[in-house]
Amino acid sequence: MKEQDKRFVGSWWRAGDREHQVGGILEIDDVGRCRLELVGSLLDHHETQVLVHGKASGRSITVLNASPSNGGQTVIGQEHTETQVLRADAVLVGIHMDSEDDAVFDSMWVSIANLTTWAGRSAFEKIDTYEKDPLKFKRAEFKFEPIEDIAMEISERSEVVHFRWCMRGNSIQNHGSYREYRVREAVKVEVRADEPRNWMGYWRTVGDVQDLLTIATQGPCLASSLELKIEQDKGPAHTIDLHFHSGRTGPSADKADIDKFLFLLSDLEIDRVINQWIKLKDTIGLPLNVLLGLDYDPSGYYENQIFNAASAAEGFHQALRPNSVSLDPGVHESIVKEVKKHFSGDELDWIRPRIGENRPGLKQRYMELAKLPDSEAVIRLVSNVEVWAKWLKNARNAIGHLNTGELDKKVPEAARFRLTYITKALLHLVIMNEIGVGEEKQREAVQNVWWFSSKRFEEAVRASI
C-alpha cells in the first residue's frame, strides 16, 4: 500500500449524525495504529468506543472504537479554535458500518512477509540458452505456467485457507523495436468461511498462518495489505482496506534470507500441518505467545529474554506433558495422608503447598521436554541436555526471584548470552516435531540455521564439565 493511501483528508461525523461534520486528517502508521486529528470535536472528554464515519479520497471510511487522545487543543482569543485528536482500534476504508459487529464480510485477503519466498514456486520459469561454449551466454527466455491455488479446510473453524498466486502488471510499454512487460508476482493468504463474519472474524486464522511463517523463516513475518471482501451478485467483490494494530510487529527484513528458513511449503503436507499447527496453538496457549514475542519484540534486557524463554519452556511442558509426575500417584497420595495424621492447623497449612504438587522439578521438566523432538537434533543443538536444563532452571529462578548476582554465579558468562537463543531453538524443534516436520528437517535446522550458536554453546558446556 502506498504512503498516500495511509493519509486521508476529509470530513468526519459520529455514525448516525451526518449533519454534524468536522474536517480532519486520518493518519495510519506502518504497524496499523490510527490517529484522527479533527478541526473541531466529535467526542466528549471521557467518551470511548464511539463509531465514527468519514469521507476522504472519494471513499467511505469507518473508524472503530474511537476515543479522545492527547494532542487536542482549545484556544480562546481573537478567534475560538478547537482541535481534537482521536485514537481508534481500527479503520475500514471503503464502507460505512452501522456497528462493529456487522457480519457482512465474506473473506479476508492478506500479504505476509516472506510468504512468496517460503511458498517456493513461481508461475515464471527463466530458461537460459548458451552457445557451445558453456561460458558464453546467448539469451534468456521466460515460460509462464499458471499455478493452481492451494486450499486447506480448517474443520474446527468452518473455514478454508487459500494460498493464492497473484499477478499484478503495468500496462504494456511499446518501444518500437521491442515491447516491455512488467509483472509482480506475490502469494497471498485468503481465509473464507461458510457464512459472512465481522471485521475480525478471520483474523485469528490469519494470525496463525503469520505465526507459522515466523517460526518457519526465523524472523517476524509482518502482515500487510489487509483486505476484507464483500461478494456481489454481479462483478468483482467489493474490497475494503483494513488497518489495525495487531501487536505482531518487529524488524521484518526487506529481503528474505532463505538460508535461515527451517522448512519450506514444499517440505510439508500443508493441509495436515496447518490443522495440527492450529490445534497446537490452542493446546499450548499463552506460553506459545511468550515464545513468539521473542521474535516479534526482540528488544530489552537479556535477562528478560532468558526468563521469557524459560517460562515458555515450562508452559510447553505443562501443555504437552500434563500427566507428568515426580512420584507414583499412589505413593504421593499415601505420603500426603501420612503427613495429615501428624500435623494440623498452621503447621499443615505451611506443609500442604510443599507436598501437594506431584510435578517433577523444573530441571526434570526441561529434560522431559527435550525428549520430544528428534534426539540427534537436540544433542547437536544443546550438546548436553542435563547441563542445558540445569542452567535454564538456575537462570529462571535467579531472575524470577530477583537475586542480584545469582545469575552470574549459577550460569557461566559464555552460556548466559546464548541461553535464550538455544532455548528458543529447542522449542522450535518441539513445534516442528508436533506439527509433523520430519527428523531430517529437524537435524538440518540445527546444522544450517543454528550451527554457530550451537557450537559456541557446546564450548561453554565442555568448559563447565
Q: Is the pLDDT of residue 354 over 50?
A: yes
One domain, residues 422 and 292: yes
Confirm whether 382 is domain-assigned: yes
One domain, residues 72 and 172: no
State the alpha helices, DSSP H only, in 55-187.
115-119
One domain, residues 13 and 129: no
Q: Which has more pLDDT, 156 or 13?
A: 13
Flag the least confident range among 72-76, 88-92, 304-308. 72-76
CA 67/CA 58 separation, integer angstroms: 25
Identity of the highest mean pLDDT range in 9-13, 69-73, 263-267: 9-13
Distant-in-sequence, close-in-space partners of 226: CB < 8 Å, separation ≥ 6: 108, 109, 110, 206, 241, 242, 243, 244
Q: Is the pLDDT of residue 253 over 60?
A: no
One domain, residues 313 and 425: yes
One domain, residues 213 and 180: yes
Confirm whether 64 is domain-assigned: yes
Note whether 227 and 109 are within 8 A (CB): yes
Flag the least confident range among 54-68, 247-261, 400-414. 247-261
pLDDT tier at 65 (50, 70, 90 boundaries)?
very high
One domain, residues 76 and 184: no
One domain, residues 145 and 78: no
CA 390/CA 388 separation, integer angstroms: 5
Note whether 87 and 43 are within 8 A (CB): no
Confirm whether 348 is domain-assigned: no
One domain, residues 157 and 28: no
- Mean of pLDDT over the chain: 90
Confirm whether 35 is domain-assigned: yes
Confirm whether 133 is domain-assigned: yes
Q: What is the reported pLDDT for 3?
A: 43
- Which CATH number is 84's domain given? 2.40.10
Q: What is the reported pLDDT for 21?
A: 96
One domain, residues 14 and 155: no
State mean pLDDT over 421-449.
97
Q: What is the reported pLDDT for 38?
A: 95
pLDDT in tens, 294-312: 998 888 899 999 999 999 9
Q: Is the pLDDT of residue 141 over 90?
A: no
One domain, residues 47 and 125: no
pLDDT tier at 251 (50, 70, 90 boundaries)?
low
Which range marks the domain in which residue 175 is found?
105-261
Structural domains in the chain (count) = 3
pLDDT in tens, 441-453: 999 999 999 999 9
One domain, residues 77 and 129: no
Flag the least confident range among 171-180, 248-257, 278-287, 374-383. 248-257
State mean pLDDT over 242-257.
76
Confirm whether 352 is domain-assigned: no
Q: Is the pLDDT of residue 252 over 80?
A: no
Confirm whether 100 is domain-assigned: no
Q: Please give the share of the chain, as a percent, with pLDDT higher than 70.
A: 95
Q: What is the reported pLDDT for 169?
A: 77
pLDDT in tens, 31-56: 889 999 999 999 998 899 999 999 99
One domain, residues 180 and 250: yes
Domain's final residue, options 93, 117, 149: 93
CA 33/CA 246 separation, integer angstroms: 9
Domain's final residue, options 62, 93, 124: 93
R_g of the chain computed on alpha carbons: 28
